[in-house]
Homo-oligomer: A and B are copies of this chain.
Amino acid sequence: MADAATINISPMAVALPELQPLPGVTLGATAAGIRYRGRNDLVMAEFVPGTTVAGVFTRNRCPGAPVEWCRHALKGERARALVVNAGNANVFTGRAGLAAARATAEVAAALVGCKPRHVFLASTGVIGEQLPYQRLTDALPALHAELRPDRWEDAARGIMTTDTFPKGATRTAQIGDATVTINGFAKGSGMIAPDMATMLCFVATDAKIPSEALQKMLKRGVDSSFNRTTVDSDTSTSDTVLLFATGLAKHPEVPDDGGPMLKDFRAKLADLLLDLALQVVRDGEGAQKLIRIDVSGAVGRRSAQRVAMAVANSPLVKTAVAGEDANWGRIVMAVGKAGEPADRDRLSVAIGGTWMARDGGVVEGYDETPVVAHMKGRDVRIAVDLGLGNGEATAWTCDLTHGYIDINGSYRS
């Protein structure tokens, strides 16, 4: 198992912004000794009564017990607590796994004074080992006693596994005349793929939003952020995004379907989710470069998305970027393998804004110099124009390096 101390911080790490207290949320972290030594691995948050909740989960057919628990809890449309542990994913643990989830929720519910179904759970770490849940339930009372409104950083750090830096983001949004806050934190660095791309992401706001509108916004926000990013095409069994709205902000009532009143909130939420998703990609296992792929000229938006993800998932494109090789031939290959409508003789490819190939052939007098210079940087931009229609999409990934092999050839996750 790779020791966190032996893994260097990603060269693309960004600093954790200061997350201000949010009316209706207290949180904290502690060391329950689930797997790691000398660090926090158990996080709890408590929400005021009346908090609404929305969630999006992995499409993996073998999800962890906490995902099953949350899917069921979500039907209640209300949340009072969140309990997250790092070090053990409680995945492929059968009925005992679900019992462990229930026991954890029951203890948290007793502390908060709510029904177990108002407690949301997430676990991340090793798969296939029974969660030593008594360490969680033993640690929860002291942790609950220390929940405070200003412990966002502790929470962001407490859920890390192979992450090399904590990930957080904050935004403010206008609803009517009121200003509301949105805080979020996330973890994830490997097993990041199209169908729900981070392992865990938790967002809270003081806005008062009906759960129906909340769910709709979250789904849309995840589709244009986490679902447009990939690290290694593998899909975790635990991917979870939860959004809690405490409702303590004073603003006009939001209708069930959201509507125009949420326009600014929707945009700011999407922006925050994309910020967190890109932090996850920046922390891709072994990643040295962030790659952005812009596809245009596709027959439609879905087609453009599939082409962008095919390029983002191609090991040959990702190793070429790692080697700073302006290899547009591999980009053409990846476009073709997407299986979407494409005409070789209308295809154009650019790296860093320099068009290398146009309409199916090398650009006359193409000079590699600016492309080579661009590829030496941390941010690599690839553009593909299919020349067929107006479909556009963007995807993000990271390069594939020796670091990925180092981490995944030894870490049992």
Contacts and interface: CB of A to CB of B under 8 A. Distances in A.
Interface residues of A, number: 69
Interface string A387-408: 0000000000000111011001
Contacts of A402: 402, 405
B329 A127 contact: yes
B315 A234 contact: yes
A215 to B, nearest CB: 23
Contacts of A327: 412-413
A16 B359 CA distance: 43
Contacts of A323: 408-410
A127 B360 CA distance: 12
A235 B94 CA distance: 37
A26 B402 CA distance: 45
Interface stretch (A37-45, A113-121, A179-187, A337-345): A337-345
A114 B339 CA distance: 36
Contacts of A315: 232-234, 315, 404, 408
Contact of A191 (B316, B345, B408): B316
B360 A92 contact: yes
A330 interface: yes
Contacts of A319: 404-405, 408-409
A249 interface: no
A63 B408 contact: no
Interface string A311-352: 001111001101101011110111111111110110100000
Contacts of A235: 333, 336-337
Contact of A61 (B59, B237, B339, B413): B339
A91 interface: yes
A169 B62 CA distance: 41
B91 A413 contact: no
Contacts of A330: 127, 234, 413
A325 to B, nearest CB: 6
Nearest to A403: B405
Interface in A223-246: 232-237
A262 to B, nearest CB: 32
A383 to B, nearest CB: 16
Nearest to A58: B336
A137 B129 CA distance: 63
Given A128-B362, A319-B404, 18 more contacts: A61-B338, A61-B339, A61-B342, A62-B342, A92-B357, A94-B345, A94-B360, A127-B332, A128-B332, A128-B357, A233-B233, A234-B330, A234-B337, A235-B333, A316-B413, A319-B405, A323-B409, A401-B409
**In the complex, the 3 A-B pairs of residues with the closest C-beta atoms, listed nearest first:** A127-B329, A62-B336, A323-B409
